[in-house]
Every structure is written in structure tokens, then in C-alpha cells.
Amino acid sequence: MSGKGVVDFSSGSIAGKLIAFMLPLLLGNLFQQLYNAADTLIVGNFLGPDALAAVSSSGSLIFMMVGFFNGMAVGAGVVISRAYGAGDRERLQRAISSDIAFGILAGLAITIFAVLFTPSILRWISTPETLLPISASYFRIYSAGIFFSVMYNVLMGIINALGDSRHPLCYLIASSLINIVLDLLLVGVFGLGVGSAALATIVSQAVSSLLCLRRLMKGVGDVSVDMKDIRIDVHELRSIIRFGLPSGMQNSIVGLANTVIQASVNGFPSAAIAGFGVYAKIEGFVLLPITSFSLAFTTFIAQMAGAGDLRRARKGAWEGMAMNLVAAELVGVLLFISAPFLVGLFTSDGEVIAYGVRQARLEAFFYFLVAISHGSAGMLRGAGRAFVPMLVMLLSWCVIRVIYVSVMLSFHHDMMVIYSAYPLTWFVSSLIFLAYLSRSRWLK
């Protein structure tokens, strides 16, 4: 099965096919990060450091809530890619239908929960009382549109699993431009406050999700979706849960760990909170080559496993990992050099810039460890072993990270403790992944 905009992984240069599939993912994720960062960038420049801190402190919460469903979308993508690679058209349609139905129900549930419990959630992460009104305004309005974020990730995951990473890129470009224009108008021109920045994001996410749905209804290759046929098939939902639950739990618990760490950050001055949030936005950009390669690994290996070509799957995995490592160190060097300029784009406050640059320059040269961890996780998910990366990430990026921060802050109350926790836990996860890959038959 093939079609316009669809990459055929079954033949030709593996590196070339991976890059051809990865580049639209990279550009698409770039624009997704752009509209995620637009709120922070524009709020920081127009509304000041307190508003910037209020918006920044919501980032880990949003990831924690949406992360589970994004992980489930990755699992659904493995099921869909395998059925697509095997040419099983009937199973493919059932899997797509079940994935969309699950996304609709889950998106509605998380939206209602987040809107109703906004104040309680913000107090749980120790949001300073001085920032609480601003944070609540932003977070509640953003939460009202989480449904569209969930649906976008579900629908984009289906399109990517079918081998088309180009169309989601076009949709993200359109929605990113909408978000930036609305942010500038609502915040910069009309001065409507942080809530209007959240509203701009909701509108842009709704546009991207509707465009993805339109693409699926028109057809990706020779596969199309009819909304009248959307229903849950119990067998396929079980498969989606089996592949997706580990990734979903991993995202949620990593998000929970980050939220716990955010609570520790919230004990520092507002400049430290803002600097931490600004770096998180910048890191989202600079890690895009790593995460995009990892997503490409998952689709490639799942399709090759579905087609029974394990030799090509193994070869592609290691070629891709080598490219990922090179990309990681290049972006690390660029970040180290350009950190003051990049942080300065978000704010003119010298203290906030100092905090952000300090963290960026500590972590920049350790991105090769992130490449090993994310790349290994992508390989294993494509091979149907999503439970392994879940366990590794939970141990290293959650348990060890939270314990380290909690214990060390009790001895030395300094932001460097929090900054250093990330390279340390990346190192632990990389060691575990490499040991597992070298000693097990991870693809069979």
C-alpha cells in the first residue's frame, strides 16, 4: 500500500528513507513547539516576569495530563503500522476506528476533569499564592481545549503510522501561524492577559485536529476513515492498550515526576521559576531532532516487523541511532553557544536570563545521553516491547530523579541541584538501555 506523501520503508536506502520520513516529523514538531512556546514568548515580553512564571509553571501539569493519551497514541501507531505493513486491511480499519473512538472519550474526560479541578491542581504543585490567580486563569482556559490536543495527537499518530509525515507538517504550520497571530493580537495589541494566550492555543489546536481528520476522511494512500463507522472494537482496543499503556503510563509518571520537581522549583524566587520554564521551552526545540528520529524508528521497525523483514529492521535501527547521536551533539554545541540569545528572546529580565543560561549550559553537552535513551525506547516500542522503556524511564527519570532532588535540596537549596538531576538520570537510563539491547533478543 502506498500513496502520495507516503514513505515506503520496504526497499531502498534505509538512512535515506528514515531521513525522508523524519524531516517532516522534525519540522512538524518544530512548529508544534513554536505554538507551545508562543504563549511563553509573548507573555514574557508583554506581561512581565510574574506572568511568565505563572504560564511556565503550568507546563509540567499540561504534559502530565495530555502525556498519557499521547503515549496511547504511540501504542496505537504500532498496531496500525504492523497491520499496514502486513497488508491486513480489515484489521487496519478496525484499529483506526477504535483509536479515534478511544481518543474522543478520553479527550472529553480529561477536559472536564482539568476544568473542574484547576485551583486544587495548582495548589497541589505549590503554586505561590501571588501567582495563583494568573496561573488559574491561564490553566483553566487552556484545559478547556485539551480535547483538541488529545485528538490532534491521536489523528496525527494514525497518519504517521500509515507512512505520511508530510501532511501533518502542513497542518502544524497553519495552526502555528494562527496561534502566533492570535497571541500577538490578544496579548500584545488588545492586552487581554494570560487567559487570551491560552485561548489562542485552543483555537490553533482545534484547527490542526480538524485538518488531520479531514485528511483521514479523504484518504491516506488507499486508507480512509468514515466517521459513521467509528466505534470501539474490543480486540483491537486491547491491542492498542497492550502497546500503548506502557508508553502512556511512562509519559504520565514522567510528567508527574516533573510536576513534583516543579513544586520544588516553585519554592525559589519567581525569576528562577521563569528561567526554569523558559529553558524547558528552549529544550523542547533543541531536542526535536532526537525525538523525531525516535518516532521514525518506531514506525520503521513496526512496519518491517509486520512485513517480517527483521534483518532490515535491525540494520535500520542502528543506522538511525548513529545519526541520532550526531544530531544530538550538534544541537548541544549550538545551544551552549547561543543560550544567552535564546533565553533573551523570552524576557529582558537579567535575573531570569541568568537562571535560564545556567541550566542550558550545564545540560547542553549531555544530549547524546538523551539520544541513546529516546532512540532505544523508539526501537523497543516498534518491536512491540513498550513495557521495557516504561520501566527504564520510570526508574531513572522518575524515581531516581525525584529522590535525588528531594534529598539534595535538603542539604543544599540551590537550583543547580535541580539542573544536575537531568544529566544524571539520562546517564542511568542510557546505561540500562544499552545493557538490555546488547544482552537480549529485543527484535524477533
Assigned domain for 444 exists: no
Could you give the CA distance from residue 393 to residue 243 in angstroms, rounded to a whole number?
Answer: 16
Q: Are 442 and 300 in contact (CB under 8 A)?
A: no
For residue 175, what is its C-alpha cell? 495552526
Question: Beta partners for 223?
Answer: 220
Q: Give the residue-averaged pLDDT of 190-197.
A: 86
Number of domains composing the chain: 1
Assigned domain for 6 exists: no
pLDDT tens, position by position, 67-106: 777 778 877 888 888 888 778 888 899 999 999 998 999 8
Assigned domain for 297 exists: yes
Assigned domain for 174 exists: yes
Mean pLDDT of the chain: 85
Question: Beta partners for 220?
Answer: 223
Cα distances from 49 to residues 105, 191, 226, 269, 413, in angstroms, run 37, 16, 48, 11, 22
Predicted local confidence at residue 2, as pLDDT: 47
One DSSP character per residue, 372-437 reads HHHHHHHHHHHTT-THHHHHHHIIIIIIIHHHHHHHHHHH---HHHHHHHHHHHHHHHHHHHHHHH
Q: Which residues of 297-333 are buried (b: 16+ CB within 10 A; e: fewer)?
A: bbbbbbbbbbbebeebbbebbeebbebbbebbeebbe
Domain interval for residue 329 = 14-439
For residue 376, what is its C-alpha cell? 532505544
Assigned domain for 430 exists: yes
Predicted local confidence at residue 41, as pLDDT: 78
Q: Which residue has the cell 472519550?
A: 105
Instruction: Check whether 418 has a pLDDT greater than 90.
Output: yes
Predicted local confidence at residue 356, as pLDDT: 94
HSE on the CB side for 199, CA within 13 Å? 12
Q: Which of 118-122, 341-345, 437-441 has the highest mean pLDDT?
A: 341-345
pLDDT tens, position by position, 4-49: 556 667 777 778 888 888 887 787 777 767 766 777 778 878 888 7
User: Nearest to residue 268, comparing CAs of 400, 128, 401?
Assistant: 128
Assigned domain for 4 exists: no
pLDDT tens, position by position, 251-265: 777 777 887 888 899
